[in-house]
Amino acid sequence: MFNVATQTQTKQSAGAVQAGSSNGFRGLVDARLLTYALEGSDYKGILPADATANKIYNLSQLATASQMSHSENRRVVELSLPLKTNTLLFYGRAPMGDTYDGYANVYDCYGHMDQYDVNVTTGSANFEVGHRIPSNDDDATYQKFLIVENLFAGIQSTLLNHKVAAGEVIAAAGTPDGVAAAYMFDATIPAGGIKWEQYAAASGKSPYNVADDRFPLENKLGNLYKQLTSIKTASGELRAGSGEAVIRMAQDLLTVLNEIRCATPLNDGEAVAKYFADGVYNRVLKYFTGDTNNTGAPITKVAFNNFNTIRTAYLSADEVAFRPPLTRPPRFSGPQKPN
CB of 49 within 8 A of CB of 22? no
CA–CA distance, 129 with 114 (Å, rounded to integer): 6
Q: How far is CA 116 from the centre of its chain?
A: 27
One domain, residues 156 and 299: yes
Whole-number pLDDT of residue 138: 76
Per-residue pLDDT of the chain (339 residues; tens, 9 = 90+): 455 555 544 444 554 444 455 554 456 677 888 888 876 555 555 667 677 888 888 877 666 656 656 566 566 778 888 888 888 888 877 665 544 444 344 444 455 666 777 776 766 677 776 666 666 777 787 788 788 878 888 888 899 999 999 999 999 999 999 999 999 999 999 999 999 999 999 999 999 999 999 999 999 999 999 998 887 767 666 666 677 888 999 999 999 999 999 999 999 999 999 999 999 999 999 999 999 999 999 999 999 999 889 989 998 988 888 876 544 444 434 444 444
One domain, residues 258 and 316: yes
One domain, residues 64 and 185: no
Determine the Cα angle at 126 with ends 125 and 128, to 5°: 155
- Tens digits of residue pLDDT in 176-196: 999 999 999 999 999 999 999
- Tens digits of residue pLDDT in 238-275: 666 677 888 999 999 999 999 999 999 999 999 999 99
Whole-number pLDDT of residue 10: 45
User: For the chain, percent helix, then strand, then coil, each to nearest 5?
Assistant: 30, 15, 55
Domain extent at residue 263? 143-320
Residue 178 exposed, middle or buried by CB count within 10 Å (0-12, 13-18, 19+)? exposed
Tell me the whole-structure pTM to 2 decimals: 0.62
Amino acid symbol at 237: E
Whole-number pLDDT of residue 35: 87
Q: Is residue 311 part of a domain?
A: yes
One domain, residues 294 and 234: yes
One domain, residues 170 and 289: yes
Q: Is residue 5 part of a domain?
A: no
One domain, residues 112 and 197: no
Coil vs helix vs strand at 87: strand
One domain, residues 299 and 195: yes
